[in-house]
Amino acid sequence: MSNTVEILTHEASLNYTGDKAKGDGYYGSSDGIHTVAFYLKDFLGRIHLEGSLVTDPTASDWFSIQIGTATDYREYTAQTTGTVANTVTGNFVWIRARVDRSAVAGSPSSYVEADHGQLEKVLLNR
């Protein structure tokens, strides 16, 4: 059964984490296939995807899911607009997305949309 849910929406902030969403492991599905779509508008920074195998996760129960080429994140060092999709496999009970701009050149201390763009939304299909 395919099901799409929005797991992150834009926030006017440098760094933020979306709400957790139920993954295949929550439903006991055996294929573990998840497709995630990132909707970018002049986005600058890193996007992380994190999973948990715990029913009621605490901060220490989250781990990185590889979505970049040999990295646990997708990095945009120039403002980028478009939709980017990733398919990841794992029997994750929960999945969430996170925006991190601490590696952006100049180490910004405040969010300026014209400079940092938006991660408009992240959709998860499981």
Domain ranges of the chain: 10-106+114-121
Tokens representing 25 are 């492991």
Contacts of 1 (CB under 8 A, 6+ apart): none
State which amino acid sits at residue 81. Answer: T
pLDDT reading at 25 higher than 60: yes
What confidence score (pLDDT) does residue 24 get? Answer: 92
Q: Which amino acid makes up residue 36?
A: V
3-state secondary structure (DSSP) of residue 106: coil
Render pLDDT for 61-108 as a digit per residue (tens, 0 to 9): 999 999 988 899 999 999 999 999 999 999 999 999 999 998 887 778
Taking a C-beta distance cutoff of 8 angstroms, is the pair 120, 40 a contact?
Answer: yes
pTM of structure: 0.92
For residues 126 and 122, give the distance between their C-alpha atoms in angstroms, rounded to a whole number: 13
- pLDDT confidence bin for 109, thresholds 50/70/90: confident
pLDDT > 90: what percent of the chain? Answer: 77
Residue 66, amino acid: Q
Backbone φ, ψ for residue 31 (5° rounding):
-85, -30
Three-class secondary structure assignment of 28-93: CCCCCEEEEEEEEEEEEEEEEEEEECCCCCCHHHCEEECCCCCCCEEEEEEEEEEEEEEEEECCCC
Asked whether 49 and 34 are in contact (CB, 8 A), the reply is no
Q: What whole-number distance in Å separates Cα of residue 79 and Cα of residue 44?
A: 5
Query: What is the per-residue pLDDT for 2?
Result: 67
